[in-house]
């Protein structure tokens, strides 16, 4: 089920100006699933710390409509994971740059010491 959500998410990201909801409907997903996915995705982004996302969940519908529930769960997991992955990549890029700079400075200092000894 998790792989299914990842593939769905990749397909959602590749499309142009359509909303996720419209795209899911056009791909043949039931409207209840598309509604749940949209709500879950917004909630997942909000849970990952994105201020633009709102926590949305139609609880009665979630409890009684399996398609909405599955869509909500898939949307939440996927959008939450995507946002956390973006944050991790940005963090690693910042620290990789810092480590590269530190390494270059250390290399330059060692080279300067080596040349001074001769």
Residues spanned by the domain of 28? 18-116
Nearest to 42 by CA among 59, 21, 24, 27: 21
Alpha helices (H) in the chain, listed in sequence order: 2-14, 20-26, 31-47, 59-64, 66-116
* This prediction's pTM: 0.60
Under 8 Å between Cβ of 72 and 59: no
Tell me what the mean pLDDT of segment 88-116 comes to.
Answer: 74
Q: CB–CB of 24/33 below 8 Å?
A: yes
Q: With bands split at pLDDT 50, 70 and 90, how would you rate the model's confidence at 71?
A: very high
- How many domains does the chain divide into? 1
Is residue 110 in some structural domain? yes
Residue 7: inside a domain: no
- Distance from C-alpha of 19 to C-alpha of 30, rounded to nearest angstrom: 15
The answer to the question of residue 68 being in a domain is yes
- 2 lies in some domain: no
> What DSSP character marks residue 43?
H
């Amino acid at each position: 089920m998790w792989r299914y959500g990842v593939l769905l998410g990749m397909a959602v990201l590749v499309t142009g100006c359509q909303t996720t909801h419209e795209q899911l409907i056009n791909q043949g997903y039931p409207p209840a699933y598309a509604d749940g996915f949209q709500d879950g995705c917004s909630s997942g982004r909000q849970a990952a710390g994105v201020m633009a996302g709102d926590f949305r969940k139609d609880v009665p519908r979630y409890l009684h409509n399996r398609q909405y529930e599955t869509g909500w769960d898939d949307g939440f997991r996927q959008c939450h994971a995507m946002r956390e992955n973006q944050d991790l990549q940005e963090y690693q890029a910042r620290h990789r740059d810092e480590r590269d700079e530190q390494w270059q400075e250390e290399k330059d200092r060692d080279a300067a010491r080596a040349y001074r000894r001769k």
